[in-house]
């Protein structure tokens, strides 16, 4: 299992994964989940790095190996979905695969192999709403099957631990985005409000520039994604019109210009369809 003990800004990081690259923060996160284990050290909280398992473009999933326990956390932002149980199952399987390969285990032998005990969590940072305390994979297939997986839902506990602070930071992010849009002003407002409220202060004091860069990058990527989806929709509509034009011309023998007129294609768009049909 690849372990990365350095902290650096990857272009695909989310704020969530960047914060917990720091070993001190990982230990605090582990203690938020296991306050009874005060003897745990930073060195024992190893970061498990899986590169873009689900091809989502942004890393907002976190794996931590603490002694014999594998902790997987996935961040759910403004929307809630039961599909996160399947995402975690895929992530868990990939992590175990790497663990088996690293330890050179023989899965076809008679001796049982030893793997870390899994703990699975969803960190919910969206608007307040009623959520179950646990999600189960069986919720996706009606409850009658041979595979089950349990994911615990984490929300603001009110204890002001590092997880609560991160969730509050996400709330501040939503407030600033409503005020300033997805802009550098929003990023600056988020950082300013965090400092004023004492949210993740030591970390932000050290990594303020990097965190701001990640925010602006994410804003730009969200904008680019929306534009791509819009363009894809437009391309789909244009393809449909082009197919309709082609069918009409084939069935009637009309020239392209007459078909364009028959389908009421606006004059500014006609050049596009002329080029599309010429290429085909």
DSSP string, 40-103: --TTTEEEE----TT--SSB-EEEEEETTEEEEEEEE-S---TTHHHHHHHHHHHHHHHHHHHH
Report the DSSP beta bridge partners of residue 69. Answer: 66, 117
Given this model, what pLDDT does residue 265 score?
77
Better pLDDT: 236 or 191: 191
Q: What is the CB neighbour count within 10 angstroms for residue 218?
A: 19
Between vectors from CA 278 to CA 273 and to CA 279, what angle results, nearest 5°? 100
User: How much of the chain, in percent, has pLDDT values that exceed 90?
Assistant: 41
Given this model, what pLDDT does residue 245 score?
80
Given this model, what pLDDT does residue 9 score?
42
Lowest pLDDT segment from 18-22, 53-57, 215-219, 220-224: 53-57
Better pLDDT: 232 or 212: 212
What confidence tier does 103 reach under pLDDT thresholds 50, 70, 90?
very high
What confidence tier does 231 reach under pLDDT thresholds 50, 70, 90?
low
């Amino acid at each position: 299992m690849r372990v990365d003990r350095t902290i650096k800004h990857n272009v695909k990081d989310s704020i969530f994964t960047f914060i917990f690259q720091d070993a001190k923060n990982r230990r605090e996160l582990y203690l938020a989940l296991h306050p009874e284990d005060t003897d745990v050290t930073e060195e024992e909280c190893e970061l498990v790095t899986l590169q873009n398992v689900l091809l989502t473009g942004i890393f907002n999933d976190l794996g931590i190996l603490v002694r014999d326990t594998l902790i997987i956390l996935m961040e759910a932002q403004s929307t809630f979905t039961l599909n996160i149980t399947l995402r975690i199952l895929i992530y868990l399987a990939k992590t175990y695969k790497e663990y088996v390969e690293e330890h050179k285990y023989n899965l076809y032998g008679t001796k049982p192999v030893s793997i870390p005990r899994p703990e699975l969590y969803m960190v919910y940072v969206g608007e307040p709403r009623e959520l179950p305390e646990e999600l189960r994979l069986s919720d996706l297939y009606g409850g009658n099957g041979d595979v089950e997986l349990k994911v615990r839902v984490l929300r603001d506990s009110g204890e002001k631990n590092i997880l609560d602070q991160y969730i509050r930071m996400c709330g501040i992010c939503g407030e600033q985005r409503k005020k300033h849009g997805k802009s550098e002003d929003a990023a600056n407002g988020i950082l300013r409000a965090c400092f004023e409220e004492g949210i993740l202060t030591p970390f932000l004091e050290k990594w303020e520039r990097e965190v701001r860069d990640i925010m602006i990058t994410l804003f730009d990527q969200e904008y680019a994604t929306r534009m791509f989806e819009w363009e894809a929709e437009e391309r789909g509509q244009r393809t449909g019109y082009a197919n309709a034009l082609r069918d009409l011309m084939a069935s009637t023998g009309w020239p392209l210009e007459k078909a364009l007129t028959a389908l009421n294609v606006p004059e500014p768009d006609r050049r596009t369809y002329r080029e599309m049909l010429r290429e085909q």
